[in-house]
Structure 1
Amino acid sequence: MTQAPVNPRSTLDAPASDDILAVAREQVLERGEALTQEQVLAVLRLDDARLTELLELAHDVRMRWCGPEVEVEGIISLKTGGCPEDCHFCSQSGLFTSPVRSAWIDIPSLVEAAKQTAKTGATEFCIVAAVRGPDKRLMSQVAAGIEAIRNEVDIQIACSLGMLTQEQVDELAAMGVHRYNHNLETARSHFPEVVTTHSWEERWGTLRMVRDAGMEVCCGGILGMGETLEQRAEFAADLASLEPDEVPLNFLNPRPGTPFGDLEVLPASEALKAVAAFRLALPRTILRFAGGREITLGDLGAQKGILGGINAVIVGNYLTTLGRPAEADLDLLADLQMPIKALNDSI
């Protein structure tokens, strides 16, 4: 298995200037050089009074290095619930007293979901399964689903099926999977507090195999799982060292019956600072609003995030929680004069 490298960013000196935003403006906006771990931490520690200034800078960075287009994606759960892993945030674990029970979606329903997603203008449709890793039955279902979707819908297909073997990576690449999602979830140092049934390094190994096979890498995580600001900065640096094509940013929506069910929702100002900080750590990456943004940020916060470094959204519902109606996000993008990324720009 490929070993995760020690992140050199963690050993760098703190910024010479006391004004981290001035440093970031010159370093990231002007030169396109990502913030170091220590610099990200300085951003996360900014006083709330400078939040607007920070968000404006992150938006400028996004516009300069990514452009105005917003990538829209829909997701569907092919296999829900009954997962053997103990991810403490997830109600799909079979180890917790959560309400989600194991279920499969049939191929016609999968195709219909892809059609509805495409109607929103989305270019990406992600097939997700709640598993440690796919078995032969799941791989067969995915292959059949991809073939059926391709016969009827013009959309790119992504997958999120847990940890993979090299053989499974090769199979998905042969199926034409465009992008593979496998989240590191949190900083390497915090991971044992979030998951105990597998390691951060196992996830890293899958991501490296995916990249080596030529698929795009989608890797992010969840903020607000009890991590410190230092660990949040560490996580941003972990992701920067991986160089993913896309980073989905989720915010913990505490699920009843899970070990994290009683954690408090992240304050909106803290969440928005994290969005901007991750943009400054990943200036050229697709940074996607994902789960938990509704409960954490609300409608106004969603607008601030899109004007604070975000350049991609998941529309509709998530795997076990309700999202904003797709129309609400699309109307917001129209109001902000943010064009939806076209399919031929995504290939």
Structure 2
Amino acid sequence: MTPSSSYLIPADRLLQIAQDKVLGRGEGLNFHETLSALSLDEVHLDDLLELAHKVRLKWCGDAVEVEGIISLQTGGCPEDCHFCAQSGLFESPVRAVTLDIAYLVEAAKQTAKTGATEFCIVAAVKGPDENLMQQIEAAVEAIRAEVDIHVAASVGILTQQQTDRLKAAGIHRYNHNLETARSYFPEVVTTHTWEERIATLQQVAAAGMEVCCGGIVGMGESLAQRAEFAMDLQELNPTEVPLNFFDPRPGTPFADIEPMEAKQALQTIAAFRLALPRTILRFAGGRELTMGDFGAERGMLGGINAIIVGNYLTTLGRPAERDIDMLGKLQLPIKALNASM
């Protein structure tokens, strides 16, 4: 769906609104304004990115939060997320694998050596069973005993008791992505609801853990739905928004969707920064395919202030050293652990 040109705010007017409202007062763009930012002509992209970078510097500072992620339990998931190669319902090449705690501790050590302050344990499940809960509790205890790093988790939909246990175990930030706009969610997942995800996020926030919630752009949603997604996140007010760019996986229902163009990805970064001026906006999966090295640098200077280094769950990322070198080239400091405690 292409927004009507009569509905969109002219570029000069939009940039002035963002200058006054977002840069000046730290207030995020509304739906109409965010949709207009997503719809700007390419000639205005550099101006949009420059303003988004100024917003990021003013309201978040110049430091970049670095994170590594690892999958404790990969593949065999009973859910039907149409983008995901870990679903056991699709003929994907990913096979179920479970890691031991010693491997997780070593991975956390290697992650910390990059300067990362965050290490996220992920499992491909609808929600954790008792065995997985005990594994996570033991893993967090072992990691914290040997590695100076924050431990986050992403293990699906939680009960209240599970939420409380993860908090008690030392999980300081919990990731549970909404994935997409509420109106588009039924096109992406049918085995659970958007409302179930929101309920878990509300529990996490109430328990005192930081909320990490983002999703994937470029899965066939309209620009209006992309703006709607930004508003969903704005209302949720998470500490962190991981921004993934769709990377088609063989064997999944979305395998034939083409990746978005680099220009559109950069425009999305800037628009989300202007909608979420005070939020950690993290480069996540798909950036290598969508933007390459040059696009990644432009994204870091267009609103991004956090990054996942190394590989993702089922796709390869860039070597951590390349991303650290990129931050040095751009003169963006890595956020120190003692500053994030």
Shorter chain as denominator, the TM-score bin is: over 0.9
Which whole-Å deviations, capped at 9, do the CAs of 1:82-123 have from their partners, x for residues lacking one?
000000000000000001111100111000000000000000
Q: What is the aligned partner in structure 2 of residue 314 from structure 1? A: 308
SS at match of 1:97: coil
User: Any conservation in 2 of the 1:79–1:104 contact (CA below 8 Å)?
Assistant: yes
Q: What is the aligned partner in structure 1 of residue 265 from structure 2? A: 271
Figure out how many residues of one structure are paired with residues of the other and give that number: 335
The CA distance in 2 between the partners of 1:219 and 1:345, in whole Å, is 22
Q: What is the aligned partner in structure 2 of residue 199 from structure 1? A: 193
The CA distance in 1 between the partners of 2:54 and 2:254, in whole Å, is 35
| Aligned-residue offset at 1:296 | 0.3
Superposed, which structure 2 residues align to 1:203-222 within 5 Å?
203-222=197-216
Q: 1:47 aligns with which of 41, 50, 73?
A: 41
* One-letter identity of the residue aligned with 1:162: G
* One-letter identity of the residue aligned with 2:324: L
Work out whether 1:293 is the aligned partner of 2:280: no
Structure 2: gaps (5+ residues): 1-6
Which whole-Å deviations, capped at 9, do the CAs of 1:282-325 have from their partners, x for residues lacking one?
00000000000000000000000000000000000000000011
Q: What is the aligned partner in structure 2 of residue 330 from structure 1? A: 324
| Aligned-residue offset at 1:15 | 6.0
* One-letter identity of the residue aligned with 1:296: T
| Aligned-residue offset at 1:205 | 0.2
Q: What is the aligned partner in structure 2 of residue 169 from structure 1? A: 163
Q: What is the aligned partner in structure 1 of residue 130 from structure 2? A: 136
User: Any conservation in 2 of the 1:85–1:95 contact (CA below 8 Å)?
Assistant: yes
Work out whether 1:31 is the aligned partner of 2:25: yes
Q: What is the aligned partner in structure 2 of residue 252 from structure 1? A: 246
The CA distance in 1 between the partners of 2:31 and 2:131, in whole Å, is 42
The CA distance in 1 between the partners of 2:243 and 2:220, in whole Å, is 16
| Aligned-residue offset at 1:33 | 1.0
The CA distance in 2 between the partners of 1:227 and 1:344, in whole Å, is 40
The CA distance in 2 between the partners of 1:101 and 1:324, in whole Å, is 22
* One-letter identity of the residue aligned with 2:197: R
Q: What is the aligned partner in structure 1 of residue 218 from structure 2? A: 224
Identity within the alignment, %: 69
User: Any conservation in 2 of the 1:15–1:23 contact (CA below 8 Å)?
Assistant: no
| Aligned-residue offset at 1:17 | 8.5
| Aligned-residue offset at 1:18 | 6.1
User: Any conservation in 1 of the 2:179–2:215 contact (CA below 8 Å)?
Assistant: yes
Q: 1:94 aligns with which of 88, 91, 98?
A: 88
- Tell me the TM-score normalised to structure 2 length: 0.97
Q: What is the aligned partner in structure 2 of residue 3 from structure 1? A: none
User: Any conservation in 1 of the 2:8–2:35 contact (CA below 8 Å)?
Assistant: no
Superposed, which structure 2 residues align to 1:73-84 within 5 Å?
73-84=67-78
Cα 1:172–1:45 shift into 2, 3 Å: same
The CA distance in 2 between the partners of 1:190 and 1:235, in whole Å, is 9
| Aligned-residue offset at 1:165 | 0.2
Superposed, which structure 2 residues align to 1:63-74 within 5 Å?
63-74=57-68
Q: What is the aligned partner in structure 2 of residue 149 from structure 1? A: 143
| Aligned-residue offset at 1:19 | 1.9
User: Any conservation in 1 of the 2:74–2:96 contact (CA below 8 Å)?
Assistant: yes
| Aligned-residue offset at 1:31 | 1.2
SS at match of 1:19: helix
Structure 1: gaps (5+ residues): 1-12
